[in-house]
Chain A
Amino acid sequence: AQTVTQSQPEMSVQEAETVTLSCTYDTSESDYYLFWYKQPPSRQMILVIRQEAYKQQNATENRFSVNFQKAAKSFSLKISDSQLGDAAMYFCAYRSAMDSNYQLIWGAGTKLIIKP
């Protein structure tokens, strides 16, 4: 079974600085998708960025980028120029591309605190 691990329960960063959130996963599959979601106190889970495992190039969305290391099964999220609105829980999630059950498998989350 696949698992997702986020080893940092909490991270803090000064506003305008850069922060990296870690995520590792375990799978025997070769084709899958990885996601980072953000959950602010409002509770809604918001998609931040997505990565296809078969793509070598790291995904980027404005100030958010990932460092995808397939061999190491690592998928970290880098947030540049941190803003107060970035404060939230961040969840890493895995989805198989081969299973008929396309459930998301989630990490435990990292709480990101932005210091003004």
Chain B
Amino acid sequence: DAGVTQSPTHLIKTRGQQVTLRCSPISGHKSVSWYQQVLGQGPQFIFQYYEKEERGRGNFPDRFSARQFPNYSSELNVNALLLGDSALYLCASSLDDIPSQPQHFGDGTRLSIL
């Protein structure tokens, strides 16, 4: 079975632009979470979606938004990009919205802002 897939792998944008990152969860997984990992740090939680509803939001500005589609895939959108948005963006999926279930991660999207 395919794992969590993210696209694109690497993206270069300039300040002020907008970006959309995509994530396909493991087949059958209904929960998707997004994390931002700045170089040299641990990931920071951005969003969690379950059954197309937002279940959690981290301490990120409104420039960050996300959604989940009926097939459980998800998109993360970031508007008005800043240099500080440069990071690895990780998507994770789990079967359900249960805390005991481990999250399975994709390879991430490396976003570079010039």
A-side residues, CB < 8 A to B, are 4, 32-33, 35, 37, 42-47, 50, 52, 91, 93, 95-97, 100-109
Residue pair A102, B108 in contact (C-beta under 8 Å): no
Q: Which of B15-73 contact A (CB under 8 A)?
A: 33, 35, 40-45, 48, 55-58
Q: Are A104 and B100 in contact (CB under 8 A)?
A: no
Nearest Cβ distance between residue A36 and chain B, in whole angstroms? 11
15 A-B residue pairings within 8 Å (CB atoms): A32-B99, A43-B110, A44-B105, A44-B108, A47-B103, A93-B42, A95-B99, A101-B57, A103-B48, A104-B35, A104-B43, A106-B42, A107-B42, A108-B41, A109-B42
Question: Given contacts A45-B90, A101-B48, A102-B56, are A109 and B102 in contact (CB under 8 A)?
Answer: no
Distance, CA A91 to CA B100, complexed state (A): 18
Residue B107, interface by CB 8 Å: yes
Q: Which of B78-114 contact A (CB under 8 A)?
A: 88, 90, 92, 97-100, 102-108, 110
Interface size on B, residues (CB 8 A): 28
B98 CB contacts on chain A under 8 angstroms:
102
Given A43-B108, A45-B90, the answer on whether A108 and B99 have CB atoms closer than 8 Å is no
Complex CA–CA separation, A35 to B48 (angstroms): 18
Find out whether the CB atom of A97 lies under 8 angstroms from the CB atom of B41. Answer: no
**Which one of A32, A43, A50, A52 has the greatest number of beta carbons of chain B within 10 Å?**
A43
Question: In whole angstroms, what is the CA distance A75 to B109 when docked?
Answer: 30
Q: How long is the Cα–Cα vector from A102 to B88 in the complex, in angstroms?
A: 21
CB-defined contacts of A43 to chain B, threshold 8 Å:
88, 107-108, 110
B99 touches A33 (CB 8 A): yes
Give the nearest-CB partner of B90 in chain A: A45
Nearest-neighbor residue (CB-CB) of B58 within chain A: A103
- Neighbouring A residues of B105 by C-beta, 8 Å: 37, 44-46
Is B99 touching A96 in the complex (CB atoms < 8 A)? yes
The interface centre, meaning the residue of B40, B99, B100, B103 with most chain A CB atoms within 10 A of its CB, is: B99
B107 touches A102 (CB 8 A): no
The answer for the CA separation of A46 and B3 in the assembled complex, in Å, is 11
> How close is A102's CB to chain B, nearest CB, in angstroms?
4
- A97 / chain B contacts, CB cutoff of 8 Å: 99-100
